[in-house]
């Protein structure tokens, strides 16, 4: 098969990805072999290619928003069959035995492994996934539309739940990219009032199209106090701004892996009246299953831009340069 491999991490302009010939992988006893049909391009893939994330598997194949079809099963797999359509996401394995896993917080497992970082992912004709970490996908939605839901969608959904937004609550979204525009669709479908705070003009138009009640600059005050807010922009300077926009008892969740330093907080204006600041770390499989169910029920759709799998390196360059709107998705043009 053909697969993309990160030979040595470097800026994508210097072509760290090589398109190589490899044997089709053999699934372990508890794994599925998946024929890749579509794979979303996530900013984390850029971090893997450029070395912002340390190398965990030399020559790794990136890609963790995979929609494909089961092409083979390991000897111990009983709940999937050849021909089933499945999704492969970022969280690949946990130990299942640590205190975090046992209390339902497997997203915090210190021995967790990730698709397209610890193990080869979906920038290839075939990939593998432990059966316990594969997602069943809703029917009637095409592969390309589903792919971005598997990372951007699930993480945005966990961030939404981390705000503990009350029914009919007022939600502020700081930044409005791939993850936020999916999160907004769930919040709106559940009856929330959504205020979007971003500088980007195209993102503001998309927010209004989707049903946001207001769009303002990231540093502006929203038109009403917020019960919950999510920081999608990786900008620590916005944290006190968002905390001040919260109503009493409001919760701010920071969705990103990276955030620039948070400036000093003023206790009375930023935290008193039981405001809370929370982080979001990866997701559990329960988050993923809940989100995919809600996405199907509410018709959540990603705005997508497709590339053939054989152009994956260009897709990453275009992502870095901001050359497209919405989420890039690779489509297997080889098999």
Interacting residues toward Zn ion by CB under 5 A: 42, 44, 94-95, 98, 101, 109, 151
Taking the complex as a whole, the smallest distance from the CB of residue 98 to Zn ion amounts, in Å, to 3
Nearest CB to Zn ion, comparing residues 156 and 222 = 156
Distance between CA 109 and CA 98 in Å, rounded? 7
Q: Among positive and negative, which fits the CA dihedral 76, 82, 84, 86?
A: positive
Q: How many CB atoms lie within 10 A of CB 145?
A: 18
For residue 153, the Cα-to-chain-centroid distance in whole angstroms is 5
Nearest CB to Zn ion, comparing residues 47 and 136 = 47
Nearest CB to Zn ion, comparing residues 101 and 231 = 101
The torsion angles phi and psi of 234, rounded to 5 degrees, stand at -80, 45
Distance between CA 143 and CA 246 in Å, rounded? 38
Nearest CB to Zn ion, comparing residues 215 and 328 = 328
Nearest CB to Zn ion, comparing residues 34 and 101 = 101
Taking the complex as a whole, the smallest distance from the CB of residue 20 to Zn ion amounts, in Å, to 23
Taking the complex as a whole, the smallest distance from the CB of residue 64 to Zn ion amounts, in Å, to 6
Give which of 141, 154, 125, 133 is closest to 42, Cα–Cα: 154
Taking the complex as a whole, the smallest distance from the CB of residue 63 to Zn ion amounts, in Å, to 9
The torsion angles phi and psi of 95, rounded to 5 degrees, stand at -80, -25
Taking the complex as a whole, the smallest distance from the CB of residue 334 to Zn ion amounts, in Å, to 23
Taking the complex as a whole, the smallest distance from the CB of residue 149 to Zn ion amounts, in Å, to 11
Taking the complex as a whole, the smallest distance from the CB of residue 105 to Zn ion amounts, in Å, to 9
Distance between CA 282 and CA 175 in Å, rounded? 19
Structure tokens at 247: 């109503």
Nearest CB to Zn ion, comparing residues 42 and 231 = 42
For residue 317, the Cα-to-chain-centroid distance in whole angstroms is 19
Q: Is 326 exposed, middle or buried (0-12, 13-18, 19+ CB in 10 A)?
A: middle
Distance between CA 308 and CA 329 in Å, rounded? 8
Nearest CB to Zn ion, comparing residues 101 and 315 = 101
């Amino acid at each position: 098969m053909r697969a993309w491999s990160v030979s040595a991490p470097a800026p994508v302009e210097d072509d760290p990805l090589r398109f190589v010939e490899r044997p089709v992988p053999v699934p372990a006893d508890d794994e599925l072999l998946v024929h890749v049909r579509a794979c979303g391009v996530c900013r984390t893939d850029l971090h893997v290619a450029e070395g912002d994330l340390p190398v965990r598997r030399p020559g790794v194949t990136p890609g963790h928003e995979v929609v494909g079809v089961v092409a083979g099963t390991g000897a111990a797999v009983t709940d999937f069959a050849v021909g089933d359509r499945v999704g492969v996401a970022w969280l690949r394995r946990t130990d299942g035995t640590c205190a975090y896993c046992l209390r339902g917080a497997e997203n915090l497992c210190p021995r967790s492994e990730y698709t397209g970082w610890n193990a080869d992912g979906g920038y290839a004709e075939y990939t593998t996934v432990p059966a316990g970490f594969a997602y069943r996908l809703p029917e009637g939605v095409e592969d390309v539309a589903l792919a971005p839901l598997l990372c951007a969608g699930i993480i945005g959904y966990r961030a939404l739940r981390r705000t503990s937004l009350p029914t009919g609550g007022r939600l502020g979204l700081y930044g409005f990219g791939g993850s936020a525009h999916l999160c907004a669709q769930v919040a709106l479908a559940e009856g929330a009032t959504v205020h979007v705070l971003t500088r980007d003009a195209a993102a503001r138009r998309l927010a209004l199209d989707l049903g946001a009640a207001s769009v303002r600059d990231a540093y502006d005050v929203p038109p009403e106090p917020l019960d919950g807010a999510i920081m999608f922009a990786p900008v620590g300077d916005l944290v006190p701004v968002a905390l001040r926009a919260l109503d009493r008892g409001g919760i701010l969740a920071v969705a990103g892996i990276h955030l620039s330093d948070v400036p000093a907080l003023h206790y009375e204006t930023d935290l008193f009246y039981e405001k809370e600041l929370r982080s979001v770390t990866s997701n559990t499989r329960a988050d993923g299953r809940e989100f995919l169910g809600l996405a199907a029920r509410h018709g959540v759709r990603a705005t997508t831009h497709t590339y053939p799998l054989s152009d994956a390196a260009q897709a990453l360059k275009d992502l870095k340069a901001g050359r497209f709107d919405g989420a890039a998705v690779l489509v297997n043009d080889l098999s």
